[in-house]
């Protein structure tokens, strides 16, 4: 994007920063994750035990995602992050752009130790999480069972929460319109399919509360601002545990996605970084995660080692996978800009 001369100029004008980054060689292994109680759990089961076992100190950071952040970091290499947990699109985009180190799957015990969807040439799957229709079970005699009910404002009057943006909204709209779950991305890949999804969203446009941060839908449900909303399953299970609420998720028609560990290209701590990922992928370490937060595990052995009642709450349990689909990262990588513009135009109409 920028010429070498300009990058040099930039570097020299930030002389002080350049000096700071030249000591990158001896900075700690820097691990970046999603913050909040998820990162608290990671600290307890991954970060601290890893340091105790290997003596490699870890500096933690948090981020909120977004490929632009990674791209900006990598304008000056090596970046000051080593290991980052990324979402599906950031993995696909960064892998195509050469932002990540290639994973040596043999060193991790072989690809067959992991769920197939967790294996990527640039990243190692860390968790499986789901977005789905959620509601407060205390407030219904007859609970909603699918996206048709989400669109049925007569039987279920009140506002609905959706994540602002075309991602997820369009898929769920098509499901509500009767598209079988395994054909959703096929239909969405055509212009008519996109028109159909927006037309379906039109039906409940006035009833939607759009949320952006993952904590918002929980708050909306708790305050009664909405009768149902899309939400992340880990957050729901978490609030049920801490606040004693009875928030439920409808598994059929939900969309799951995998977050992966990646190592940024040219990291000075590359070896330690992969050692850490290996540590965090071991079945005995991964299996401790669901105690804290209801995310599915990517290591097959770890998943199998869980108690049945714990496993039943996770997106990876066979019953919960029934009728659920994986987020299509390729589709969104290709279409997010165009559909986001169209989404903004549709909102403004």
Closer residue to other proteins (CB): 98 or 180: 98
Please give the residues from 155 up to 174 whose contact with other proteins meets the rule CB under 8 A: 164
| 52: contact with other proteins by CB under 8 A | no
The interface region with other proteins, picked from 174-182, 210-218, 293-301, 315-323 by CB under 8 A, is 210-218
List the x/- string, 78-97, binding to other proteins by CB under 8 A. --------------xx--xx
Contacts of 20 (CB under 8 A, 6+ apart): none
| 186: contact with other proteins by CB under 8 A | no
List the x/- string, 91-130, binding to other proteins by CB under 8 A. -xx--xxxx-------------------------------
Residue 139 is given by DSSP the state: G
| 12: contact with other proteins by CB under 8 A | no
- According to DSSP, the residues that pair with 130 across neighbouring strands are 256
For residue 190, what are its two tokens?
A: 């055509």
Number of residues in contact with other proteins under rule CB under 8 A = 45
Closest CA to 32 of 76, 75, 66, 1: 66
> What minimum distance in Å lies between the beta carbon of 230 and other proteins?
15
| 330: contact with other proteins by CB under 8 A | yes
| 67: contact with other proteins by CB under 8 A | yes
Phi and psi at residue 44, in whole multiples of 5°?
-70, -40
What is the rounded distance in angstroms from the CA atom of residue 161 to the CA atom of residue 145?
16
| Of 24, 69, 115, 300, the one binding other proteins by CB under 8 A | 69
> What minimum distance in Å lies between the beta carbon of 328 and other proteins?
11
What is the rounded distance in angstroms from the CA atom of residue 105 to the CA atom of residue 121?
8
Q: Where are the beta strands (DSSP E) in the chain?
A: 29-33, 58-62, 83-86, 124-136, 160-163, 208-211, 228-232, 247-263, 296-297, 325-326
């Amino acid at each position: 994007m920028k010429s070498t001369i300009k990058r040099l100029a930039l570097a020299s004008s930030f002389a002080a920063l350049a000096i700071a980054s030249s000591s990158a060689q001896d900075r700690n292994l820097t691990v970046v994750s999603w913050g909040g109680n998820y990162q608290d759990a990671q600290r307890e089961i991954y970060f601290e035990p890893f340091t105790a076992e290997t003596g490699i100190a870890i500096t933690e950071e948090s981020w909120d995602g977004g490929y632009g952040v990674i791209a900006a970091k990598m304008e000056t290499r090596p970046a000051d992050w080593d290991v980052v947990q990324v979402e599906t699109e950031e993995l696909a985009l960064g892998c195509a752009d050469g932002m990540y180190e290639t994973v040596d799957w043999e060193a991790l015990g072989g690809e067959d130790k992991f769920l197939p969807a967790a294996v990527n040439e640039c990243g190692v799957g860390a968790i499986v999480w789901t977005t789905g229709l959620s509601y407060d079970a205390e407030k219904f005699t007859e609970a909603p069972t699918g996206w048709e009910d989400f669109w049925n404002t007569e039987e279920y009057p009140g506002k609905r929460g959706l994540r602002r943006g075309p991602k997820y909204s369009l898929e769920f709209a098509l499901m509500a319109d009767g598209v079988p779950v395994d054909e959703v991305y096929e239909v969405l890949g055509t212009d008519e399919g996109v028109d159909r999804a927006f037309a379906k969203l039109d039906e409940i446009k006035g009833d939607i509360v759009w949320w952006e941060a993952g904590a918002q839908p929980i708050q909306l449900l708790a305050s009664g601002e909405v009768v149902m909303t899309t939400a992340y399953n880990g957050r729901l299970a978490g609030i049920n545990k801490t606040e004693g609420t009875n928030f439920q998720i409808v598994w059929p028609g939900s969309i799951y996605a995998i977050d992966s560990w990646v190592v940024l290209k040219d990291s000075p701590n590359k070896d330690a970084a992969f050692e850490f990922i290996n540590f965090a992928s071991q079945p005995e370490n991964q299996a401790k995660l669901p105690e804290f937060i209801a995310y599915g595990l990517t290591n097959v052995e770890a998943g199998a080692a869980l108690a049945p009642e714990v496993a039943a709450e996770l997106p990876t349990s066979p019953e919960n996978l029934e009728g659920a689909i994986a987020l299509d990262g390729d589709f969104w990588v290709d279409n997010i800009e165009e559909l986001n513009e169209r989404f903004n135009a549709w909102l403004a109409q």
